[in-house]
Structures are given as C-alpha cells and as structure tokens.
Chains A and B, each alone.
Chain A
C-alpha cells in the first residue's frame, strides 16, 4: 500500500475516534455531581436554579444533552470555566500557548538529547559513559515527576538561586506586545533582548524537568537498539572496509537504530502531556497543566472536559505523525495491518 493511501486511511479513522472520545468525555461529566453544582450559590432562588437547569438542558434526555453540548463545541462554545471566571474558549488559547512554549522545548530535550545520549552510551557499551547514561535511562521510569521537580527546585532555586519561579518578570512581560502568546518568540519579534533573556531564564529549568521522562525513555530504547545494530553483519562489513568507527555509527548503525526509537516517540508525547500538569504546578507556570490541576480540585467540569478533549486531539495527532514517520522511514513495513 502506498504511504499516501495509508495516511488517508488513518485520517479517515480519526473522526470516529474523536467522536468516541467526545462521547467518553461527555459521559465523564455525567458520572459526577450535577454539571451546574459549581455555579450554585446559597442565596439563589428556586427560579434561578430552574433557569440554570434549563440553560444546561438538564430537563432533556441524555442524547439531546450530548447533541447540544457537541453543537456548542462546533460553535466554539466550550462552556464556562468556573476557576477562571471566564468562558473556556477565551482562556484556552493563552494557556495553550504557555504550555506549548514549555512542551516544544521539552520535546527538543527529550528527542534530541535522548537520541544523542542513547547513541553515546550504546557506542561505548559497558564502559563508564554507558553506565552513566543508563542511570538516566532507568531512573526515568521510576522517578515520580513531582518529586524530581521538587528536588530540582530545591537545588536550583533554593541552594543555587539560578532559576526563578513562574513564566516571566511581569514588568518585562508588559513591555512588549504578544502576537503569538509564546513569550520567547514574542520577545524576539519585538526585538526586546532583556525580555528574551527573561523568557529563557524562566523556561529552561521546567522544560528540562518536563522533558526528563521522555528523555529517559528515548535514551533507553536508542541505546539498546544501537547495541543490537552494532552486532549485525553489515557493521562488521563497514568496519572491515576500514571506515572510521564514528562514520560506521553515524551513517550506518544509528540510522537503523532510530526505527525502534521512533515507535516510542508517541509514548514520549503522552509523557509530555501528562507531565505538564505536575511540572506547571510546581514551577508555577500559567499553562493548561496548572489550569486543570486547579480545576479538578473544584470539580470544574467545563474546564476538565475541555482539557481532556484538547489532550486527546494533540495525543491522537502526535501518534498519527509518529506512525506516518515510521512508515516513511521503514519502507518494509506492510502498511494497514
């Protein structure tokens, strides 16, 4: 099957999955208390409560409520976020931008550094450098991210004083205009050097912590598949031709070792998404993660539902991209099944 056909078929399956996810998310909101619970006040009259119930369509059947909710989604009405005291659709873009800025850097750390470290360790099997990278690789699966983040905070904030909390210096932040919502990009667009330095100063540490779990996963897979590749015959052939070892690893073995690594990138994306909740909470980063963390404590259903939907869409698209990349890299894959 052609790659294009495979991609089209995966794209056609996407709406069905998204529809089922929306049913699941809607179902979630009906397992808890009443969706209007969070808006109720003690001094409301009976009429006001009835009016609220009608606005949420609670007098209708569940399928009708679902259709009304879905219709709202398509009109850009994601409900009212009680924790932000504003419509979800208004708050979402700026939170998304803040999280995106953090996650993009974290993804570069996880994927770029992970492939580099895995290659570095795998090429020096059982030497000291290998053992050192394996500590990172193995600890990633067991380290509670919230604990790791707090330990890093103790070291870099408390002891060394190298990293500030939050996302920006409010004064510098107010100095520039924000066309994209990504603070570091906006600072560059404004040509405002101090603001850019401020952005990076706030960004690097939470991004490093957020990227760590993904980094560990990628490093582990990259290392072990490079070790496997280096035992293959074609590597011996390349070496016996007199090619320098660096060339053998870079041009021959690493290329093939990348295949299994690509397959776990979807997993790494999931780790980034869920890790953002804890990392943003601890580093006081004003993104989606911290938003949802406050929302779950108050049972703010509109915010929770919007977040789960956004996370599912990002995760599905990321996994689709990973599968397509894999199919493209490895033409031997029999696409479709």
Chain B
C-alpha cells in the first residue's frame, strides 16, 4: 500500500515536470486535440454508410478546390471529400498506433525479459533474431511483408507489428542486465522470493523508464511509417486514412491540384511532430543528464 502511494506521488511529480516543459506540453495539446477529433468524428462529419472508413464519393464534384460548398478542403480525383478523410483518418491513425504499439511492446518486453533474465542459450537465440530483423531497414521489411500479404490496412498493421518489437527487446534486455546487478534485487533474492516474483516486483518495474520515452516517440513513428505504406498504395482504395489521402492527390500535384496531398500529409506531420515533442520532453524529465540540449 505504501509502495503504491510512493509511486503515485512520483507519477504526480513527473507529470507536473512534463507540463512545465513547453515543447512537451505543446505536443500533449496537439495529441489531445487529435484524440478528441477521433472520438467525436461522427459529430464533426457525418459518417459515410455503409463503411464509415471509406470517403464518401461526390462524383458531381471531382477535383474540387478548397472552399467548394460542401467540400471545405476540396475533393480527390474520385470525388472523395478531403475533410472527411482527415477527420475519420484520425481514428485509423489512433487504431494503427495503439494496436501496433501494444503488440510490439508486449512481444518486445517478453522476449527482451527472457533474454535478459534467463540468459545463456536463449539470450543468444533471441538476440540473433533481433540482429536479423535489424539488418533490414524497418520500412523496407514492413513494405515487403505488407506487399506479400496483399494490399489492406490490416496487413499494414500486421507488418508494422512484426517489424517493430526489436527495439523494445534490445532496450529491455540491456536495462534488465543493469538492474539485475542492483543490491535490492540481491536482497529480494536472499529473503527467498521466487525468481518470477523478483522479476515482476523488482526487476521489470525498474527497467521500464527508457521504454516510456521510446514508446512515445514510436507512437509518432508508427503512423509515419504506416502512412508511408498506404501512400505507396498498400491500403484499400478510397480509405479515409491520411497517407491514402496523399496518395489520391499525388497525381494531381503535377497538374496544379495541390490541396489533397498537402492537407493529408500535414496531419501526418502534426501527429509525428506532437509525439516527438512529447517524447523529447519526457526524456528531459526522466533523464536529467541530457537536459537542456
């Protein structure tokens, strides 16, 4: 009970420090706005039927410039409403980031813990697998997986989940090797705690700090890479997703229709920027050594 109260107090102190950091709080504001847009999407723009994640097509107004009545941000060459793609695209971005982050975190922490705690042959095997995944640039491996599975948003999520766990496994393993040396871990072991209990109560909670920063930065990167894959064309046609909106506008750019690509990409940029600012702020707060850079 006491331990819980100490942890809560530490959390409160940390959040105050984060809020005092100007770039972190600016990032946080943007993130909250994006989340609100995702939650209240049906109130902002009426849902398309039957599939709300397909942009509604207005064939009477294709390639309409911004400011057209009914299409404040213009339309794509198929008459898809750009504003609709942006608002409902926030939902798909939230889904993408949360799904991929939770899968990669779970897999990465489990495998990294196994490698760091058990060590020996398992460590060797797991780290060789990590090495192999890291021998191929992330986007290229994800591109290949999504390409072989076939174009769909679900396969983009799957591809990013398969590729993204290695960084967590590596960092957790390194942290656990460090924490294992600490005296409090020895004392827990000496008073007869089981290895699993020592791991869950003493080792893991004290190894998670760098993971918080990496996961925050990763939330931005996942959407960035996911949008890149759907820009290349690996999502369903007409999907209300930011990268896909840019993809729909790509051909038009050369003909002077700048708006589709510009608005769609700006959302990806804002999203990534917000999480990078929050992540950098968190790093300053959690790791005072690099403060002030």
Contact = CB atoms under 8 A, between A and B. Distances in A.
A180 interface: no
Contact of B146 (A138, A144, A154, A296): A296
Interface string A149-166: 011011001100000010
Interface string B48-68: 000000000000000000000
A147 B268 contact: yes
B186 interface: no
B231 A278 contact: yes
Contact of B148 (A28, A144, A146, A165): A28
A150 B265 contact: yes
A139 B224 CA distance: 13
Interface in A273-293: 273-274, 277-278, 281-282, 292-293
B262 interface: yes
A142 B232 contact: no
Contact of B269 (A33, A142, A157, A165): A142
Given A142-B269, A150-B250, A278-B232, A21 B147 contact: no
B136 A311 contact: yes
* Chain A interface extent, by class: 35 or more
Given A146-B228, A150-B246, A307-B144, A32 B149 contact: yes
B250 to A, nearest CB: 7
Nearest to B258: A154
B259 to A, nearest CB: 10
A20 B124 CA distance: 14
Most chain B CB inside 10 Å of its own CB: which residue of A16, A145, A150, A301: A150
Given A312-B135, A315-B137, A144 B254 contact: no
B140 A307 contact: yes
A219 B228 CA distance: 24
B89 to A, nearest CB: 13
A295 interface: yes
A227 B141 CA distance: 36
B178 to A, nearest CB: 15
A316 interface: yes
Most chain A CB inside 10 Å of its own CB: which residue of B140, B228, B246: B140
A31 interface: yes
Most chain A CB inside 10 Å of its own CB: which residue of B232, B243, B269, B272: B232
A33 B148 CA distance: 8
A144 B140 CA distance: 15
Given A154-B253, A311-B136, A147 B261 contact: yes
B234 A144 contact: no
A203 to B, nearest CB: 19
B151 A297 contact: yes
A139 B243 CA distance: 18
B287 interface: no
Contact of B137 (A33, A157, A273): A273
Contact of B131 (A17, A28, A157): A17
A297 B254 contact: no
A315 B272 contact: no
A233 to B, nearest CB: 19
B117 to A, nearest CB: 20
A333 interface: no
A141 B149 contact: no
B250 A141 contact: no
Contacts of B269: 142-144, 147
A181 interface: no
A195 interface: no
A33 B150 CA distance: 9
Contacts of A292: 140, 143, 147
A142 B272 contact: yes
A258 interface: no
Contacts of A307: 140, 144
A253 interface: no
Contact of B136 (A158, A278, A308): A308
Contacts of A17: 131-132, 135
Contact of A150 (B146, B220, B261, B293): B261
Given A17-B135, A224-B293, A299-B148, A311 B140 contact: yes
Contact of A144 (B143, B228, B256): B228
Interface string B224-254: 1001100111100000000100100010011
Contact of A277 (B128, B135, B145, B232): B232
Contacts of A25: 144
Contacts of A295: 147
B282 to A, nearest CB: 15
Contacts of B246: 144, 146-147, 150
A144 B139 CA distance: 13
Nearest to A274: B139
Most chain B CB inside 10 Å of its own CB: which residue of A147, A273, A292: A147
B138 interface: yes
Given A28-B148, A33-B150, A315-B137, A296 B143 contact: yes
25 contacts: A24-B133, A29-B148, A31-B148, A32-B149, A32-B150, A144-B269, A144-B272, A146-B227, A146-B231, A147-B246, A147-B262, A147-B269, A150-B261, A150-B265, A165-B254, A227-B293, A273-B140, A278-B228, A292-B140, A292-B143, A297-B147, A297-B233, A307-B144, A308-B140, A311-B136
Interface of B: 128-129, 131-133, 135-141, 143-151, 220, 224, 227-228, 231-234, 243, 246, 250, 253-254, 256, 258, 261-262, 264-266, 268-269, 272-273, 276, 293
Given A142-B269, A147-B262, 4 more contacts: A138-B276, A146-B243, A299-B147, A315-B136
